[in-house]
Amino acid sequence: MSNVTSPQVASTGASAQAAALPILIALSFCHLLNDLMQSLIPALYPLLKEQFALDFTQIGIITLAFQITASLLQPTVGFITDKRPQPFSLAFGMCSTLLGLLLLSVADNYALILIAASLVGTGSAIFHPEASRVARMASGGMYGSAQAFFQVGGNLGQAVGPLLAAFIVLPRGQGAIAWVSLAALVAMMILTRIGLWYRARSVARKAGAHKSVQAHDLPKVRVLFLIGILMLLLFSKNVYSSSLTSFFTFYLIERFDITVKAAQIQLFIFMSSIAVGTLLGGALTDRIGRRPMIWISILGALPFTLMLPYADLFWTAVLTIIIGLLMASAFPAILVYAHELIPGRVGLVSGLFFGFAFGLGGLGAAGMGYIADFKGISFIYQLCSYLPALGIVAWFLPDLEKNRELT
C-alpha cells in the first residue's frame, strides 16, 4: 500500500515536523505540571489522615474518587475527539484541575475532599487523551520515544509532588495548596499555544485526506482479545505501582520508624526512577520492539517485588528504584502497541489505556486500604509482590512489527 502526498500537505508536514520538538518539550512540561498537581493528593495523605481522623479505607476512597473519575471520562473524551478534534480542550481540562486544587485548599470536611479529588481527576481525563494524540502527531514516526518523552514529564511531576508536600505544604498546612494551583495557570497558557499548533496540524491533515495505514490483518475478535491482554498487563503494573504511590510512606514509617519527611524523600526517589524508566523504555521500545520491551518490563520486575517485603531500609530503597525503572518502561510499549492494534483511533485508545490505568490504580488503592485496615500495611506488599507474574500473558502478543515487515 502506498501513500501519495500533495505538495501542499508535504510543505505543511515539513513545517509541522520542524515544530515537533518544541511542541513535545512544551507538552512534556505541561504533563509535568499536571501530574505534579495531581501527585500532591497522595502526598498529602498523612496530613489529611491526621487532620480529619481518616482510616486507610477512607484514604483509599480519596484515590478512588480521583482515579475513577479519570478512568470513566478519558475513553469518552478520546472517542469524541477522534471524531471532532478539540484543540483547546487541553487548556479547559487544566482549568478543572485548578478548581479542584483551590477547593482542596479550603475543604473542611471529607465530602469536599472527595469533590476536589474528582475535579482534579476530571482535569486529568480531559488532558491525557488529547495530549497523547498531540505527542503522536509530533513524533516524526518515533512513536515510542515521543510517548515516553511526553510521559516522562508526568513522571517527573509525580516525583516532585511529594517534595512540594514535604517541604512546602505540610509545614504550612492545607491552605498552602492554593499556591500550587498557580502551576495550573502557567500550564493553561502553554496549552493554549499548543492548541493553536494542534488546530493548524488538524486542518492540514484533513486537507490532505490523510488515512491511517493498517498495521496488521488480524480479525476484530483477535484484536479485542489482544486489547484484553494489554489491559491485564496494565492491571499487574498499575495496581502494584498504586501500592507504592498510595501507601509507601505509611509502610516506611510503620516498618522502619522514620519521619514523614524522610518517607516523602524515599517516595521521591521511587518516582524519579519511574521517570528515568519511562524515558529509557520509550527509546528501547523503538529499538528492540514493543513485545520484547513488555516482556522485560513487567515479568522482569518479579524477582525484585518478591524480595521487597523482606528487605531492610537500604535494600528497600534499592529495590524500589529497580522496580520503578522496570515497570515504568512498560507503558510506552503497551500504548504504542495498542495504537497499532486500532490504527486511526489514537484518542480512544489513549483515553482507554490512560483511563484504565487510573481506574485500576484507584480500585487497587481502595481495595488495599481496606485490606490494610485488617491485615496491616506490610501484608499489602507481600500480597502485591506476585502481581508482575501476570507478565507471562505477553506470550500471547504477536510481533506486529515483524508481521508488517513480512507484508
Q: 70: Cβ–Cβ under 8 A, 6 or more apart, which residues?
A: 121, 122, 124, 125, 128, 354, 355, 358, 359
- 406, pLDDT greater than 80: no
List the one residue out of 27, 63, 70 whose CA is nearest residue 48. 63
pLDDT digits (tens, 9 = 90+) for 283-294: 888 788 888 888
How many whole angstroms separate alpha carbon 402 and alpha carbon 133? Answer: 25
Q: 40: Cβ–Cβ under 8 A, 6 or more apart, which residues?
A: 101, 161, 164, 165, 169, 177, 180
2 inside domain: no
Q: Grid coordinates standing for 277?
A: 524508566
**Binning pLDDT at 50, 70 and 90, where does residue 402 land?**
low
177 inside domain: yes
Answer yes or no: are the C-beta atoms of 155 and 274 closer than 8 Å. yes
Task: Give the CA dihedral 137, 225, 361, 34, nearest 10 degrees.
Answer: 10
Phi-psi region of 22 (alpha: psi -120 to 50; beta: other; left: phi over 0): alpha
16 inside domain: yes
How many whole angstroms separate alpha carbon 132 and alpha carbon 191? Answer: 13
Q: Mean pLDDT of all residues in the chain?
A: 81
**H helical segments located in 289-301:** 290-294
- 265, pLDDT greater than 80: yes
Q: Say what the pLDDT of residue 309 is.
A: 93
Kindly list the distances between the CA atom of residue 78 and the CA atoms of 73, 158, 196, 248, in Å, as whole numbers in the listed order.
9, 23, 19, 32
Q: Span 156-181, mean pLDDT?
A: 79
Whether this prediction's pTM lies above 0.75 is answered by: no
- 310, pLDDT greater than 90: yes
Higher pLDDT, 389 or 47: 389
341 inside domain: yes
Percentage of residues in the chain having pLDDT higher than 70 = 88
284 inside domain: yes
372 inside domain: yes
Q: Say what the pLDDT of residue 105 is.
A: 87
Higher pLDDT, 379 or 343: 379
Q: Say what the pLDDT of residue 175 is.
A: 82
* Structural domain harbouring 361: 12-406
Q: Say what the pLDDT of residue 14 is.
A: 42
Answer yes or no: are the C-beta atoms of 164 and 44 closer than 8 Å. no
Domain count, the chain: 1
3 inside domain: no
128 inside domain: yes
Percentage of residues in the chain having pLDDT higher than 90 = 17
CATH classification at residue 28: 1.20.1250.20
